[in-house]
Structure 1
Amino acid sequence: MCYAMVRRRVRCHAALFAPTFPLSLRPPSFLSPPYCSSCFCCAVSYFLFPHSLFCPLDLLCLAGTGRSASAYDLAGYHCCLIVLAEKKDIPELLCRMISRLLTGHRDQCISVRASRLWYYRGGLDTGEIKEIRMVLIDGQGDSIYATVPGNLIATYISIIHETGVYKFGRFRVSPHPQIMNPVENPLAITFTAVTVVQPVLGPVEMLPEWAYSLTSIGDIPEPHDTPPRLVDVIGVIRAISPIVISEVNGTNIPVSRRCVILADSSGHEIKINLFGDAAFRFNAQVIHYHGQEELGIAVFVGMTVHSRDGISELAGASACRWYINVDIPEINILRAELMPTFEPIAQLPAPDQIIRREQVDGFYPTRALATLLNHDFYQNKDGMFRCTVQISGLTPGRPWWFLSCTRCRRESVPNPSSSAQPGGNTCSDIGCGSTEATMQYRLHVLASDMTGEAEFNLFGRIARSVIATPVHQVVFNNYQGPAPIINLAVAASQIIHTPPEITAAFNAPFKFFVYVGSANFEGNRASFPVLAVERL
């Protein structure tokens, strides 16, 4: 179930001067949303606009089922809950394809996947979120750019997630931005205070996962201060560098950077610089490992063009994503063209300011758990190792989710009032001050091989490589409370059993890339952080 909250305290115009509409005169379906059960104007709306998604007077009088307004007056939001999943408040006939959208404020509905979602922070990797940006894709493969403005971030940040499938209604459609447009669509969507969000929890196999418009490496456009759109390219990964620290031009702001060399079948090459969080999200050690035996064909999307010493390069940050060896026609065709000339992925040299040295690509020794559990720190250095294990269960008493601060990515704690409204969190870093957070996986799993058992910790995207279902959908699938889900964290805390989406990974073999150091043995049980996962 889902909801929309309107930041207004208003009542229907008719309710100010008209008595309660007689029950005997109400139409048969009048007790169902989106029409309220007590005012005259909504009754008239039913007869004049039987398929309207909202009251034409633009006033959500009472989106309930006959209860009084006070029953839905939650923390200053007046009677604005819409139970979409139960009542089908977005009729199928109103849902249309992206190519059929009309401009303006209209009661339009689309059923789409959030193919990409990122937080715009004004060109920086950290700091206050200024806008939520998305690329949405429908069943026909058409895509559109969508944004949530800064004043509405708290309303939508916890209910829309990357790769999730949703029905969106009551948004504004306008011409696309003149610069940095991530897709080739003349229109764009902007969320409003009354935009309706309905998660689609059923089968979604028909919706594509990836949206891209490829530019060949040989036709990369010239650098431009205000590029009309972001660039998407395809190629084979030839080389990867470790992460280095550099400074933003003209400032003393440090930024992490990783370089990837991409080539096409004609021999053209382009350097891709991944900055900030993108540099860490690129799982270099696993990609390099597999790249010794097979081609790494990748589609990189959401990048800008820059020039260094007269040579064009691509830059990817928060908007950048990559899809490696996925089953799409463009990758399959390029693989067939390049297969006779296979070259293993190479390592690029890096300056001395290397961080996360454990990510320097190479061969990581395979160790049995008994060896890792008896690691001698006096004779052996800390380092990266591989182990093949089977997950037997979760560590008792440890939650499988947590709230991640959107600014510093540390853990956030829900405020006491968050049970009645979305958002409102306190970051564990006192100096951060952010109240915005997103739900992420935090799996403390027990895993074993033939020689022993140990605890392993998997966070965020690493955990997603083990659990196929997004964490927010796991909450929707397993929450059995009596009320609609208002806050994901509150709903997740009421799930007392281990969700089947998680237990599905039990007893399956995995290869964990783990870091072994003295800090892993400080507790009662040895616990190893997992930096990458390979499903066997």
Structure 2
Amino acid sequence: MKMKTSGKAVGSSVIATKPHGKAAVVSGNDVDVMGFGEVTLVPHEAELRFRLIHFWEARSPHTKTLIGEEMLLIDEQGNVIQGFIPASRVQTYLREMTSGSVYRLNKFFGSRSKVQFRVADHNVTVMFSWNTVLTPLQNSLVPFPEDRFRFHDHEEFEANCDLRGDLYDYVCHMRLINGQAMTEHLIIDEVDIAEKRHLVVHVQTHDRPVMKLCLWDQAATAFCQKFKSYGSTPRVLLVTTVNPKRIGECLWTLMSSRPGTILTGRSGSNSGVANEVIADVVTKPETVTLGELFSYIKQETAKVAWFECTATVDDVLHGSPWYYISCGGCNTKATKGPTSLVCTNKKCAKSEVVGVPQYLTKISVYDKSEQAVFVLPGDAGRELTGKHVSELVARYFEIHKFVVKVSQHNLTGKTHTITVTKVLPAPAPQNAIEDPADERIRKASGSLESHEAKRAKSG
């Protein structure tokens, strides 16, 4: 429905530059206000009034060249539409734009919305043209909604995985942040996140499967800032415009354009559940073959990750055992300080480190798709399966299940050996009590790759 308003327009006259350099003054007394529902695929002279929810750069995925500025707009009726400013006109309007502010827009073109990565249901995009005029709407008597969300659940993300279609919103419980369980005094390592440029949050809605949310660059920084702003650990996350993808057998939701919002609160009766989440359960690795494991490592988008694989152990590589000195408290690699050993784990509380030797061994394994070399702590077999690592090959062609870590050194090609973080025991009888795996094997694995890379360089 179009509305006619009489009287002078709010604010002063606005100047828009024409292609030939002359200026056009806009100060109309009668304003033809158009709602988003009336925007069609033609040029429009009418005025749009809206709140600018958010805006972000659109760049070519290959050349990184700026294509333009994407915008998400909402009118007084709560209708949402996408806007776009071509790269050649971005600087003309960018200095006037602030997320959350209310604007009036005159003279624009209705363009067909793109199919991929849409953030609004409307099939038309508001395209800025050479004579478009954008001005703040001061002292508006009409309230404009702050935002509007398009929520999807796990099943819908699953169905739209890897289709590069609409980017939807998600509200969920946070289970892990970079592998750390949600405790009352959780501290996020911002230095580590800044170096890696991303963080991973394990998220879940009620009792649905867990998904991994990857936040990059500005989104990761905004997450850390909002997380720290709360007096206690927030449990609920509202994240917007996420892109569902599948890596291995796990469903990931990758942060797209708009920064997510952390909601405070204990999520009602579910707070107890959130506090009782066990990291090893939430981060159950995806099952892959050795061939799929190496294919993943070769992908340009591959990240550090854990996988579960079944392989046959056929040999212990002779002459390969070696060791490093670890902290007796957390089993992280220890280095020599001025007067004593120093733990390299920033979160370790021990000021005086007692060194403990950690023995490591290489084993040769294979499955139907590929052959590989695994490196693991010498006591891993005994502690996790009742056997020493050398006993794993007492019977040749015996099949075992391993949890392995694809490290940064694997991704950069510094080493081709794969670090084992856990050797899974054979299935126990139904009435048997299963012993928990020793957590120190997992903690020790973080320092294996750096040593292995050094040995690889030295031959």
Q: Structure 1 length as normaliser, TM-score?
A: 0.44
Task: Please show how residues 329-340 of structure 1 align to structure 2 within 5 Å.
Answer: 335-336=267-268, 338=270
Would the aligned equivalents of 1:287 and 1:296 in 2 still touch at CA under 8 Å? no
Bigger fraction of residues in strand = 2
1:235 counterpart letter in structure 2? C
> Equivalent of 1:257, from 190, 194, 198?
198
Q: Which residue in the other structure is 1:78 paired with? A: 22
1:79 counterpart letter in structure 2? A
1 CA distance for matches of 2:52 and 2:44?
Answer: 21
Q: Which residue in the other structure is 2:164 paired with? A: 227
Q: Which residue in the other structure is 1:238 paired with? A: 175
Task: Please show how residues 197-216 of structure 1 align to structure 2 within 5 Å.
Answer: 197-203=134-140, 206-216=143-153
Once the two structures are TM-superposed, the CA of residue 194 in structure 1 deviates from its matched residue by 0.9
1:175 aligns with 2:112: yes
1 CA distance for matches of 2:147 and 2:277?
Answer: 25
2 CA distance for matches of 1:90 and 1:272?
Answer: 50
1:312 counterpart letter in structure 2? L
1:187 aligns with 2:119: no
Task: Deviation per CA, 1:382-434: give whole Å up to 9, x if none.
Answer: x9xxxxxxxxxxxxxxxxxxxxxxxxxxxxxxxxxxxxxxxxxxxxxxxxxxx
SS in 2 for 1:282: helix
- Rate the CA distance shift 1:203–1:219 in 2: closer, same or farther, 3 A: same
2 CA distance for matches of 1:237 and 1:90?
Answer: 52
Q: Which residue in the other structure is 2:252 paired with? A: 313
Once the two structures are TM-superposed, the CA of residue 338 in structure 1 deviates from its matched residue by 3.2
**Bigger RCO of structures 1 and 2 (CA < 8 A, at least 6 apart):** 1
Once the two structures are TM-superposed, the CA of residue 323 in structure 1 deviates from its matched residue by 2.5
Aligned length: 264
2 CA distance for matches of 1:169 and 1:90?
Answer: 14
2:120 counterpart letter in structure 1? V
Unaligned runs of 5+ in 2: 1-11, 179-188, 284-302, 306-345, 347-459
Unaligned runs of 5+ in 1: 10-76, 247-253, 327-331, 353-382, 384-536
Once the two structures are TM-superposed, the CA of residue 282 in structure 1 deviates from its matched residue by 1.4
- Rate the CA distance shift 1:97–1:128 in 2: closer, same or farther, 3 A: same
1:95 aligns with 2:33: yes
Would the aligned equivalents of 1:112 and 1:165 in 2 still touch at CA under 8 Å? yes
Q: Which residue in the other structure is 1:281 paired with? A: 222
2 CA distance for matches of 1:221 and 1:173?
Answer: 32
Once the two structures are TM-superposed, the CA of residue 3 in structure 1 deviates from its matched residue by 3.3
Task: Deviation per CA, 1:314-369: give whole Å up to 9, x if none.
Answer: 1114x13222328xxxxx9x9446356453899999979xxxxxxxxxxxxxxxxx
1:151 aligns with 2:88: yes
Task: Please show how residues 338-357 of structure 1 align to structure 2 within 5 Å.
Answer: 338=270, 341-343=273-275
> Equivalent of 1:296, from 235, 238, 257?
235
SS in 2 for 1:221: helix
More displaced stretch, 196-205 vs 340-349: 340-349
Would the aligned equivalents of 2:50 and 2:74 in 1 still touch at CA under 8 Å? yes
Once the two structures are TM-superposed, the CA of residue 226 in structure 1 deviates from its matched residue by 5.0
Would the aligned equivalents of 1:256 and 1:279 in 2 still touch at CA under 8 Å? yes
Task: Please show how residues 426-445 of structure 1 align to structure 2 within 5 Å.
Answer: none
- Rate the CA distance shift 1:108–1:205 in 2: closer, same or farther, 3 A: closer
Would the aligned equivalents of 1:306 and 1:314 in 2 still touch at CA under 8 Å? yes
Please tell me the root mean square deviation across aligned C-alpha atoms, in Å. Answer: 3.7
Once the two structures are TM-superposed, the CA of residue 180 in structure 1 deviates from its matched residue by 1.0
Q: Which residue in the other structure is 1:58 paired with? A: none
1:3 aligns with 2:3: no
Q: Which residue in the other structure is 2:448 paired with? A: none
1:270 aligns with 2:211: yes
Q: What percentage of residue pairs aligned between the two structures are identical?
A: 14
Once the two structures are TM-superposed, the CA of residue 245 in structure 1 deviates from its matched residue by 7.9
Once the two structures are TM-superposed, the CA of residue 218 in structure 1 deviates from its matched residue by 3.5
Once the two structures are TM-superposed, the CA of residue 275 in structure 1 deviates from its matched residue by 1.3
- Rate the CA distance shift 1:210–1:343 in 2: closer, same or farther, 3 A: farther
2 CA distance for matches of 1:121 and 1:133?
Answer: 10
1:185 counterpart letter in structure 2? H
Task: Deviation per CA, 1:423-471: give whole Å up to 9, x if none.
Answer: xxxxxxxxxxxxxxxxxxxxxxxxxxxxxxxxxxxxxxxxxxxxxxxxx
> Equivalent of 1:120, from 55, 58, 69?
58
Q: Which residue in the other structure is 1:426 paired with? A: none
Would the aligned equivalents of 2:17 and 2:131 in 1 still touch at CA under 8 Å? yes
2 CA distance for matches of 1:118 and 1:341?
Answer: 37
1 CA distance for matches of 2:73 and 2:269?
Answer: 31
Would the aligned equivalents of 2:102 and 2:136 in 1 still touch at CA under 8 Å? yes
Would the aligned equivalents of 1:8 and 1:78 in 2 still touch at CA under 8 Å? yes
